[in-house]
Amino acid sequence: MPDQNIDKIAVASDALANLATLLRWAGRAAEQVMILSAGDDLPGLGSTMVWAGAEIERRCAVISESISDAVPYRLATAPRKAESAV
């Protein structure tokens, strides 16, 4: 796999992990809304968002481990580019 593709995969994985953190944070906030507004199903939505965020983070970890196993020396020594994955 060309180095440029590995860099793009690593950047995309990092971006997804950041989105997962945001999703989990928003989910926890939605879970707390139950205290303020009874009857809404926001706690259920919040729990789903927290779960989805955790699943995304878990898969990003698998991607990162696979990349580092494929090219352990290069990823350990090369600085990561701050480019967008889009």
Rounded to the nearest integer, the mean pLDDT of the chain is 76
For residues 63-80, average pLDDT: 68
Q: Cα 45 to chain center, whole Å? A: 18
What pLDDT digit, counting tens, does each position of 44-62 carry?
A: 778 888 888 889 988 888 8
Question: What average pLDDT does this structure show over 20-41?
Answer: 76
86 band by pLDDT with thresholds 50, 70 and 90: very low
pTM, rounded to two decimals: 0.59
